[in-house]
Amino acid sequence: MEHFKVIGGGHTWPGTSYGSANQDINASEEIWNFFSRYDINGEITTLSMESFGLSKITIHPNPAASEIAISHENYSKHLDYKIVSLQGKLLNQGMISSTNQKIDISYLSEGLYFLIVENTTYKILKTN
């Protein structure tokens, strides 16, 4: 469990147009990070990255037009990934089976997407 404490900040809910709030954290992103850990039944869906000894993931190029490469060090086993729209729709999923895996994103429309590798969420920007 994580706890965020903001000193001297007000409170507004993400996505509302009233009030003002500091930008120390992106509340929408933190809410997504929390809920994306669980399936519809409330069960944890994946293990954390630390369980796999994965110290760093690099996604390049980002933004990208046709494909992205996922590079990481300390590879110890295959890792699952998902590409999800901002609305939460699963668009693609697969397995990372090497330390430098390429993923085709040419079929995606231009815009922002989430790449979820095991239990960590990354933003990817698709361009034309």
* pLDDT on residue 48: 45
* pLDDT on residue 123: 92
* pLDDT on residue 32: 76
Domain regions of the chain by residue span: 1-35, 49-126
Sign of the C-alpha dihedral computed for residues 43, 45, 50 and 55 taken in this order: negative
Predicted TM-score of the model (pTM):
0.57
Q: Would you say residue 92 has pLDDT above 80?
A: yes
Among 2-6, 16-20, 52-56, 58-62, top mean pLDDT goes to 58-62
Q: What gap in Å lies between CA 74 and CA 41, rounded to an integer?
A: 32
* pLDDT on residue 100: 87
* pLDDT on residue 114: 93
* CATH code of the region 49-126: 2.60.40.3080
